[in-house]
Amino acid sequence: MKIQRLGLVASVALVGSIALTACGSDSNDPGTSGSSSSSSAASDCPKGGTLNGEGSSAQKNAIEEAISSFQDECAGTTINYNPTGSGAGIKQFTAGQVDFAGSDSALKTVEKDGVVESDAAAKYCGSPAWNLPMVTGPIAVSYNVKGVDKLILTPEVAANIFAGKVTTWNDASIAKLNSGVTLPSEPIKVFFRSDESGTTENFTKYLKAAAPDAWTTDPGKKWLGKGEGKEKSAGVAGAVKGTEGGITYAEWSYAKDNKLGIAQIDNGAGPVELTGESVGKAVSAAKADGEGNDLRLKLDYATKEAGAYPILLVTYEIVCSKGKDAAKTALTKAFLTHFASADTQKGLEEIGYAPLPDEVRTKVDAAIAALS
């Protein structure tokens, strides 16, 4: 009797969801980014397949563009990327949960908490895991002070601000660098990333390298300065936007999207504005490091080169050098080749990243070709 209605309800629900399943579509019109089908990668498209990646949120916008244009080119393929954080990416990679990891620092070769990251990854892979530098971008020191359109900071002053030693905008040390600018007497409100983040690590690496006297704590993913924590880059950027007197560090694209002021950095050779050109200059000075195809990009944070913007961040894609599954390896190679191609890299410039220098790109290409 009535009990049969339970079956009825259940089957209606089941049929409903199956019907929904049937009419969904994965095909979205390729937009402007789909026009790059002339790229060389198109010739060797794998037939379908899915690739899962996870890690750095700094490269989210870059890899999303690359995925979008790759999927337009190679119909039937699916690449997923979850921007949960560099540490999470490495952890899920070594646990065999994802096919590649995105990380703002290369796998560590020294022991930490009884684990050597590169060994753990190699153990999972059954072969060495390679770091492939793929996305470089500047970290913008972004601020929101009414009437101050141009702000110059030296590493020392920046370190003092972020360490909570300089607390008002009209502090003598800031005024000295910015003669002619009327600085208000309001307090400086520092915002930092409350989640553990590769951006924090790279920014503190810069502070430690360029101003070792002012910044005394060790660089790391967890913020050890002062201030107020917000979640993710969008959180800190949004907070600065809404707070008079706020300052933070965030990827360039977030500073641009929120229309924040971006400080010029004076590493010792005069103030450098953050532009595609000044970033390109610093990135091209970066040297490829590492053994064989396991590449690391060595950045000179303390660079005194004129016109080079020194606060940079590199995101690596971490992959097994010998894949476990031939189809997945083919897809990984095709996708990474597309990502590293000159076309894709050039397209990243307009969304706040910098293309890899050609010298590095050639090495990355060679490493991708050597994946098996």
Partner 1 sequence: MWGAFLLALVPLLWILWTVVSKGGHLLLDSQWWTNSQKGITARREGGGAIHAIQGTLIQGLTTAVISVPIGVMTAIYLVEYGRGRLAKAVSFMVDILTGVPSIVAGLFIYALWVTTFGFQRVGFAVCLALVLLMVPVVVRSTEEMLKLVPNELREAAYALGVPKWKTIVKVVLPTAFSGIITGVLLGLARVMGETAPLLILGPYSKSIATDLFSGLMPTLPTMINQDRTESLQPAVDRVWAAALTLILLILLLNLAGRVIARLGSVKK
Partner 2 sequence: MSSVTGVSIADELPGPDRRHTLGGDGAGTGRLGDRLFGGAAKGAGIFVIGLVSLVGAFLLWQALPAIADDKVNFLTSREWSVDNASNLRFGILELLWTTIAVSTIGMLIAVPVGVAVALFITQYAPTWLSRPAANLVDLLAAVPSIVYGIWGLKTFVPVFDPVQSFLKDTLGWFPLFSDAGISGGSTILMVGIVLAIMVLPIVTALSREVFAQTPVTHTEGALALGATKWEMIRVAVLPFGKAGVISAAMLALGRALGETIAVTIILSTLAAGSDWTWSVFNGGETFASRIANNAGEFDSPAKTGAFIAAGLVLFVLTFVVNAIARIVIERRKAFIE
Residue 102 as a binder of partner 2 (CB under 8 A): the answer is no
Letters for 169-198 (x = contact with partner 2 by CB under 8 A, - = none) are: ------------------x-x--x-xxx--
351 binds, among partner 1, partner 2, none (CB under 5 to 8 A by kind): partner 1
Stretch that binds partner 1, among 3-11, 179-187, 204-212, 215-223 (CB under 8 A): 3-11
Would you tell me how many other CB atoms lie within 10 Å of the CB of residue 147?
Answer: 8
Task: Name every residue whose Cβ is closer than 8 Å to that of residue 3 and which is 6 or more positions away in sequence.
Answer: none
Q: Which residues, 246 to 265, sit near partner 1 by CB under 8 A?
A: 254, 257-258
By CB under 8 A, what part of segment 97-136 binds partner 1? 97
CB 258 within 8 A of CB 238: yes
Which of partner 1, partner 2, none has residue 91 at its interface (CB below 5 to 8 Å by kind)?
partner 2
Write down the least CB distance from residue 217 to partner 1, Å: 26
C-alpha 94/C-alpha 129 separation (Å) is 10
Kindly state the tokens that stand for 181: 């600018």
Question: How many CB atoms within 10 Å of residue 22?
Answer: 7
Task: Indicate whether 243 belongs to the interface with partner 1 (CB under 8 A).
Answer: no
d(C-alpha 112, C-alpha 92), whole Å? 17
109 CB neighbour count, 10 Å cutoff: 12
The interface with partner 2 within residues 105-144 (CB under 8 A) comprises 112-115
For residues 205 and 165, give the distance between their C-alpha atoms in angstroms, rounded to a whole number: 19
Residue 61 near partner 1 by CB under 8 A: yes
- Identify whether the C-beta of residue 201 lies closer than 8 Å to the C-beta of residue 192: no
**Does the protein bind partner 1 through residue 68 (CB under 8 A)?**
yes
Told to check if 1 binds partner 1 by CB under 8 A, we report: yes
Residue 81 token pair: 């990327």
* Residues of this chain that bind partner 2 (CB under 8 A): 84-85, 87-88, 90-91, 112-115, 164, 187, 189, 192, 194-196, 220-231, 239, 242-243, 246
